[in-house]
Amino acid sequence: MDGYDKYAFEPFAVTVDLAVFTIRDGALHVLLVERGQEPYAGRWALPGGFVRPEESAETAARRELAEETGLQDVSGLHLEQLRTYSEPGRDPRMRVVSVAFTALLPDAPEAHGGSDAARARWTPYDAARNLAFDHDRILADAHERIGAKLEYTCLATRFCPPEFTLGELQQVYETVWGTTLDRPNFRRKVLATPGFVEAVPGGARLTGGRGKPAALYRAGPATTLHPPLLRPTSEGRTA
Amino acid sequence: MDGYDKYAFEPFAVTVDLAVFTIRDGALHVLLVERGQEPYAGRWALPGGFVRPEESAETAARRELAEETGLQDVSGLHLEQLRTYSEPGRDPRMRVVSVAFTALLPDAPEAHGGSDAARARWTPYDAARNLAFDHDRILADAHERIGAKLEYTCLATRFCPPEFTLGELQQVYETVWGTTLDRPNFRRKVLATPGFVEAVPGGARLTGGRGKPAALYRAGPATTLHPPLLRPTSEGRTA
DNA sequence: CCTCTTTATGGTCACTACGACTATAAAGAG
DNA sequence: CTCTTTATAGTCGTAGTGACCATAAAGAGG
Domain with residue A48: its CATH number is: 3.90.79.10
- Whether the CB of A194 is below 8 Å from some CB of chain B: the reply is yes
In this structure, the answer to whether residues B44 and B127 fall within a common structural domain is yes
- Whether the CB of B38 is below 8 Å from some CB of chain A: the reply is no
In this structure, the answer to whether residues A31 and A114 fall within a common structural domain is yes
In this structure, the answer to whether residues A82 and A186 fall within a common structural domain is no
Band of residue A71 on the pLDDT scale cut at 50, 70, 90: confident
B32: chain A residues, CB-CB within 8 Å: none
* Boundary residue ending a domain (B88, B117, B149): B149
- Whether the CB of B212 is below 8 Å from some CB of chain A: the reply is no
Amino acid at A235: E
Higher pLDDT, B221 or A238: B221
Closest CA to A197 of A232, A162, A152: A162
**Coil, strand, or helix at residue B228?**
coil
Q: Report the C-alpha gap between A100 and B59 in whole angstroms.
A: 19
Residue A5 lies in a domain: no
CA of A64: how far to CAs of A33, A50, A193, B35, in Å? 12, 9, 35, 37
**Measured between CA atoms, how close is B210 to chain A, in angstroms?**
36
Query: According to the model, what pLDDT value does residue A188 have?
Result: 98
Closest CA to B143 of B177, B99, B107, B181: B177
* Boundary residue ending a domain (B121, B149, B177): B149
Query: According to the model, what pLDDT value does residue A110 have?
Result: 67
- Residue A68: phi and psi, rounded to 5, are -80, -35
A4: chain B residues, CB-CB within 8 Å: 37, 93
- Whether the CB of B228 is below 8 Å from some CB of chain A: the reply is yes
**Residue spans of beta strands (DSSP E) within B41-170:** 44-45, 48-50, 78-85, 96-104, 119-124
| Residue A176 clears pLDDT 90, i.e. is over it | yes
Q: Which residue is nearest to nucleotide C11 (CA to C1')?
A: A184
Closest CA to A17 of A75, A73, A90: A90
**Count of domains forming chain B:** 2
Please state the separation of Cα A120 from the chain's center in Å: 16
Query: According to the model, what pLDDT value does residue A29 have?
Result: 96
CA–C1' span, A215 to D24, in Å?
A: 13
Residue A205 lies in a domain: yes
Band of residue B238 on the pLDDT scale cut at 50, 70, 90: very low
| Residue A28 clears pLDDT 50, i.e. is over it | yes
- Facing residue for A1 by CB, picked from B9, B17, B239: B17
Q: Is the dihedral of CA A74, B98, A117, A21 positive or negative?
A: negative
Considering chain A, what is the average pLDDT of its residues?
89
CA of A204: how far to CAs of A40, A201, A214, in Å? 49, 9, 6
**Residue spans of beta strands (DSSP E) within chain B:** 13-24, 27-34, 44-45, 48-50, 78-85, 96-104, 119-124, 197-204, 215-219
- Burial, B210: exposed, middle or buried (Cβ in 10 Å; 0-12, 13-18, 19+)? exposed
**Coil, strand, or helix at residue B28?**
strand
Query: According to the model, what pLDDT value does residue A204 have?
Result: 65
- Axis crossing angle, helix B183-192 with helix B166-177, rounded to the nearest 10: 110
CA–C1' span, B205 to C1, in Å?
A: 82
**Measured between CA atoms, how close is B213 to chain A, in angstroms?**
30
In this structure, the answer to whether residues B97 and B210 fall within a common structural domain is no
Tell me the average pLDDT across B94-109: 92
In this structure, the answer to whether residues A20 and A136 fall within a common structural domain is yes
In this structure, the answer to whether residues B115 and B157 fall within a common structural domain is no
In this structure, the answer to whether residues A38 and A123 fall within a common structural domain is yes
In this structure, the answer to whether residues B23 and B43 fall within a common structural domain is yes
Pick from A139-143, A174-178, B43-47, B70-74: least confident: B70-74
In this structure, the answer to whether residues B142 and B157 fall within a common structural domain is no
Higher pLDDT, A105 or A118: A105
Band of residue A236 on the pLDDT scale cut at 50, 70, 90: very low
Tell me the average pLDDT across B136-159: 97
Query: According to the model, what pLDDT value does residue B113 have?
Result: 56
* Boundary residue ending a domain (B149, B170, B196): B149
CA–C1' span, B76 to D18, in Å?
A: 39
| Residue A178 clears pLDDT 80, i.e. is over it | yes
Band of residue A210 on the pLDDT scale cut at 50, 70, 90: confident
Inter-chain residue contact A14 with B15, CB threshold 8 Å: no
Residues 6+ apart with CB under 8 A from B7: A49, A50, A52
Residue A237 lies in a domain: no
Q: Find out whether B97 and A97 touch, Cβ atoms under 8 Å.
A: yes
Query: According to the model, what pLDDT value does residue A120 have?
Result: 87
Residue B212 lies in a domain: yes
Query: According to the model, what pLDDT value does residue B213 have?
Result: 92
B227 touches strand C (CB under 7 A): yes
Tell me the average pLDDT across A55-66: 96
| CB count in 10 Å sphere of residue A52 | 16
Over residues A185-195, the pLDDT tens digits come to: 999 999 999 99
Domain that residue A208 falls in: 153-219
**C chain positions with any atom within 7 Å of a protein CB:** 5-12, 17-23, 25-29
Residue B5 lies in a domain: no
B189 touches strand C (CB under 7 A): yes
CA–C1' span, B209 to D4, in Å?
A: 13
Band of residue A58 on the pLDDT scale cut at 50, 70, 90: very high
Over residues B5-63, the pLDDT tens digits come to: 445 667 899 999 999 999 998 999 999 999 988 899 999 999 999 999 999 999 999 99
Over residues A217-228, the pLDDT tens digits come to: 999 999 999 899
| Residue A5 clears pLDDT 50, i.e. is over it | no
Band of residue A238 on the pLDDT scale cut at 50, 70, 90: very low
In this structure, the answer to whether residues A62 and A177 fall within a common structural domain is no
Q: Find out whether A90 and A133 touch, Cβ atoms under 8 Å.
A: yes
Q: Find out whether B30 and B127 touch, Cβ atoms under 8 Å.
A: no
In this structure, the answer to whether residues A54 and A85 fall within a common structural domain is yes
In this structure, the answer to whether residues B86 and B60 fall within a common structural domain is yes
| Residue B166 clears pLDDT 90, i.e. is over it | yes
